[in-house]
Amino acid sequence: MSEFKDSLLKFRLKRSLEILASKKGQHTELVTLYVPHDRQISDVTNNLRQELGTASNIKSKTTRKNVQDAIESTLQRIKLFKKPPQTGLAIFSGAIPQNGPGSERMEVYVVVPPEPINLYYYRCDNRFHIEPLREMLKEKDTYGILVLDSSGAAFATLKGITLDIVRKITSGIPGKHRAGGQSARRFERFREAEVNEYFKRIGKYANKIFLKIPDLKGIIIGGPGPTKYDFEKENLLHYTLKDKILTTIDTAYVGEQGVEELVEKSTDVLKEVRYFEEKKLVQKFLYEIGHDTGLAIYGENEVRKSLEKGTVSLLLLSEDLVKKRVTIKCKNCDHQAQKTMTQQDIKNMQKWLDSKSCPKCSVPNLVIDKTEDLIDELAKLADQSRAKIEIISPKTEEGVALKKSFGGVAAILRYKQ
Ligand SMILES: [Zn+2]
């Protein structure tokens, strides 16, 4: 999975989960099914047929029918796959009341998760079980942790809530007080050389440990006293790692305890990483606009044109963009048209179409052919020309500006048009 699609995948999952969470069954009749990638489809269909048999014992006639229908629908969907996708599969199906009891309609949702599903899971309940997918929305980025003082250093990684101490080293530096008989200058020089040696070792380990992590999001350095600053000044970290230093924090301890202390103290910093990332992304766009470089464009139509030409390098979409892209077609000829509209507009659209005739063949036979999220439609266009996509939340001032002043759709171009 390419890393730059992270914000889009997360956004899509978030939207699906909002829909799924809002669905409630009348009784225990909504089916949730999780299938890991290595499970044979035939195993799954056998299992579902067994569940179908078990369901025939349900006493209430309506519940029995609803459960059986839900399992049948799940079976039909799973059969469309020769094998589960790389990350597995989740299917949600059931009779959902549309407008109070008696108005149930069968709804089926298929979710291909952005991260691997590792369990096989079947449940029938009055709600859909979305917890395993919700887990995927949590912070999973990896951070490098370095805690040091003049006595020793510890290297750790933090992924989600998993803290892993990778290595601990001692400095071997003698204390500040020389033994009797040593000349003060000679001792000082000796100590300095030892410190240099120690810093070089820290640099070597840090580079070795942190450069290996492909998606390292940032590094946090900590420790008691000034040694950590002295180390930073020495410039011993690989330049790509140096760029990733998020902050330096004072701790009371070194070693494992120091690492834990540092993680505790940096919770706020870690929470803010995406926040600052989003700020920077929009600021980049605002810079191009402000300096009139010709590299920034905004507004749905203009951006769509550039996406189609393949000249977009970075596409910024506001998370609050709730519009739909609708394809209208003529059932009499090959006429097709696309329009962006709100969900509300779509409701009145068919009525409006019924009163119109086709601009090409003049026969009044226009229908809505396809409806999709505007974000998904633009993301597809971006994908075709390998443009980066970032979904920007309204959490930052810049994110709000993107929505309010630029219509929620903006782009930075590869070159001036
Ligand atoms: Zn026509």
Distance between CA 298 and CA 306 in Å, rounded?
10
In this structure, the answer to whether residues 148 and 217 fall within a common structural domain is: yes
Please indicate, yes or no, whether residues 70 and 42 belong to a single structural domain of this protein: yes
Q: How far is residue 10's CA from residue 391's CA, in Å, rounded to a whole number?
A: 9
Average pLDDT of span 324-351: 92
Instruction: Dump pLDDT digits (tens) for 167-222.
Output: 999 998 877 666 666 788 888 888 889 999 999 999 999 999 999 998 898 999 99
Residue from 178, 142, 180 nearest 162 by CA: 142
> What average pLDDT score do residues 408-413 get?
97
Query: In angstroms, what is the span from residue 365 Cα to ligand 1's centroid?
Result: 7
Task: Assess whether pLDDT exceeds 60 at residue 1.
Answer: no
Three-class SS state of 402: helix
pLDDT of residue 219: 95
Q: Which residues contact 87 (CB under 8 A, 6 or more apart)?
A: 37, 112, 113, 114, 115, 116, 117
Count of residues in the chain: 417
- Cα of 122 from ligand 1 centre, angstroms: 47
Which band of pLDDT confidence, cut at 50, 70 and 90, is reported for residue 3? very low
Of 265, 287, 308, the last residue of a domain is: 265
C-alpha 336 – ligand 1 centre gap (Å): 8
> Do 224 and 345 sit in the same domain of this protein?
no
- Please give the tally of structural domains in the chain: 3
According to the model, what pLDDT value does residue 331 have?
94
How many angstroms separate the alpha carbon of residue 89 from the centre of ligand 1?
40
**Residues 252 and 372 placed together within one structural domain of the fold:** no
Residues 120 and 163 in one domain: no
Cα(300) to centroid(ligand 1), Å: 27
Would residue 180 count as lying in a domain?
Answer: no
Q: How far is the CA of 326 from the centre of ligand 1 (A)?
A: 17
Report the separation in Å between the CA atom of 367 and the middle of ligand 1, taken as the mean of its atom positions. 10
- Per-residue pLDDT, averaged over 227-240, amounts to 94
How far away, in angstroms, is 305 Cα from ligand 1 center?
25
Gap between the Cα atoms of 90 and 94, Å rounded: 14
What CATH number should be reported for the domain holding residue 257?
3.30.420.60
Residue 36 in any domain: the answer is yes
Is 147 found in the same domain as 121? no
Q: How far is the CA of 342 from the centre of ligand 1 (A)?
A: 25
- Could you tell me if 120 and 35 are in contact, meaning their C-beta atoms sit under 8 angstroms apart? yes
Check whether residue 83 and residue 160 sit in a common domain. Answer: no
Distance from the alpha carbon of residue 106 to the mean position of ligand 1, in angstroms:
33
Rounded distance from Cα 357 to ligand 1 centre (Å): 8
Q: What are residue 156's DSSP bridge partners?
A: 145, 165
Q: Which is nearest to 390 in space by CA: 314, 295, 299?
A: 314
Q: What is the pLDDT of residue 179?
A: 65
In a domain, 160, yes or no: yes
In the reported structure, the alpha carbon of residue 380 is separated from the centroid of ligand 1 by a whole-number distance in angstroms of 27
Indicate the residue type of 407: G
Distance from the CA of 337 to the center of ligand 1, in angstroms?
A: 11
SS3 (DSSP) at 147 = strand
Query: Which pLDDT score, from 0 to 100, does residue 178 have?
Result: 66
Which region, left, alpha or beta, applies to residue 43 given φ > 0 means left and ψ of -120 to 50 means alpha?
Answer: alpha
Q: Are residues 199 and 260 in the same domain?
A: yes
pLDDT digits (tens, 9 = 90+) for 4-46: 457 888 888 988 999 999 999 888 999 999 999 999 999 999 9
Cα 373 to averaged position of ligand 1 atoms, centre (Å): 26
For residue 139, name the pLDDT band (cuts at 50, 70, 90): low
- The predicted structure's pLDDT at residue 232: 93
Whether the predicted pLDDT of 88 surpasses 70: yes
Q: Please state, rounded to an integer, the average pLDDT across all residues of the chain.
A: 91
Residue 391 pairs in a beta bridge with 317
Q: Are 402 and 410 in contact (CB under 8 A)?
A: yes
**Beta strands of 20-132 (E only): which ranges?**
30-35, 89-97, 104-111, 121-125
- Judged by DSSP in three states, 160 sits in coil
Q: Is residue 181 part of a domain?
A: no
User: How many CB atoms are closer than 10 A to CB 239?
Assistant: 8
Regarding whether 303 and 252 lie in a shared domain, the answer is no
- Residues 286 and 202 reside in one and the same domain: no
For the record, the structure tokens of 143 come out as 């951070």
Alpha-carbon torsion 55, 61, 66, 69, what sign? positive
Which of 248, 265, 282 is a domain's end point? 265
The enclosing H or E element of 389 equals strand 388-392
Give the model's confidence band at 237: pLDDT under 50 very low, under 70 low, under 90 confident, else very high.
very high
Residue 255 lies in a domain: yes
Q: How far is the CA of 331 from the centre of ligand 1 (A)?
A: 7
Instruction: Retrieve residue 132's tokens.
Output: 């395993």
Measured in Å, residue 344 CA sits from the centre of ligand 1 at 26
Same domain, 292 and 412: yes
- Ligand 1 centroid to residue 280 C-alpha, Å: 47
327 located within any domain: yes
More confident residue, 177 or 349: 349
The beta strand positions in 5-53, using DSSP E, are 30-35
Is residue 152 helix, strand or coil? strand
Final residue belonging to a domain, choices 265, 284, 305: 265
- Examine the pLDDT at 2 and tell me if it is beyond 50: no
Mean pLDDT of 357-369: 93
**CATH number assigned to the domain comprising residue 411:** 3.30.1330.30
pLDDT at 119 over 90: no
What's the pTM?
A: 0.66
- Tell me how far the alpha carbon of residue 372 lies from the centroid of ligand 1, in angstroms: 22
Do 131 and 148 fall within a single domain? Answer: no
| Domain that residue 67 falls in | 7-135
Q: Does some domain include residue 179?
A: no
Distance 332 CA to ligand 1 centre (A): 5
Inside any domain, residue 398: yes
